[in-house]
């Protein structure tokens, strides 16, 4: 049994991921001069994650001119899986056991979508991240969010997601 103050008879986040057919990846390495996360008190600030899967971006280009919205939603989900892998590492770095069960709540997401000025469905793309967190964490996965358009993102990624998470 986890030492988490939020442990209960409900399924762990890891078992919910497995039930969804999802596996946490190896945390992606930073692609520039930054660290993947910063612990500050009980908060974990996760650097922006782009949709790497097995070391390769699953899509590149602007939404929807190059990357259709459904693929951008999938990219947001992959960014979230990458972020969860980093959060799991942050929990261990904080000296806590229990992995993702130590998440008290997701405080905020920032979701960036590479697109032109005519695109207005940023929330639809961002929902790929938000809905996955609620599927895995229930109410603890609900969060404040910004969904923002950008002319370009690192390495040509169509989506980038950053996280602020409280752990305990």
pLDDT tens digits in sequence order for the chain, 168 residues long: 334 444 444 789 999 999 999 999 999 989 899 999 999 999 999 999 999 999 999 999 999 999 999 999 999 999 999 999 999 999 999 999 999 999 999 999 999 999 999 999 999 999 999 999 999 999 999 999 999 999 999 999 999 999 999 999
pLDDT of the residue at 2: 37
List the one residue out of 149, 112, 111, 148 whose CA is nearest residue 130. Answer: 111
Rounded to two decimals, the pTM is: 0.93
Q: To which CATH superfamily is domain 13-167 assigned?
A: RutC-like (3.30.1330.40)
The residues facing 106 across adjacent strands are 165
pLDDT at 88: 97
CA distance 61 to 4: 41
Question: What distance lies between CA 161 and its chain's CA centroid?
Answer: 6
At 95, is the secondary structure helix, strand, or coil? coil
What pLDDT is stored for residue 31 in this prediction?
85
């Amino acid at each position: 049994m986890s030492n988490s103050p939020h442990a209960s008879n409900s399924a762990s986040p890891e078992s919910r991921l497995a039930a969804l057919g999802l596996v946490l990846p190896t945390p992606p390495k930073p692609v520039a001069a930054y660290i993947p996360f910063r612990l500050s008190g009980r908060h974990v600030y996760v650097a922006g994650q782009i949709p790497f899967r097995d070391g390769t971006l699953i899509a590149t280009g602007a939404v929807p001119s190059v990357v259709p919205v459904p693929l951008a939603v999938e990219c947001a989900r992959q960014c979230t899986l990458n972020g969860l892998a980093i959060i799991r590492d942050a929990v261990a770095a904080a000296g806590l056991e229990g992995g993702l069960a130590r998440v008290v709540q997701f405080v905020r997401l920032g979701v960036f979508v590479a697109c032109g000025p005519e695109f207005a469905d940023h929330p639809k793309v961002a929902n790929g991240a938000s809905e996955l967190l609620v599927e895995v964490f229930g109410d603890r996965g609900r969060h404040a969010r910004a969904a923002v358009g950008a002319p370009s993102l690192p390495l040509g990624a169509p989506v980038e997601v950053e996280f602020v998470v409280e752990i305990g």
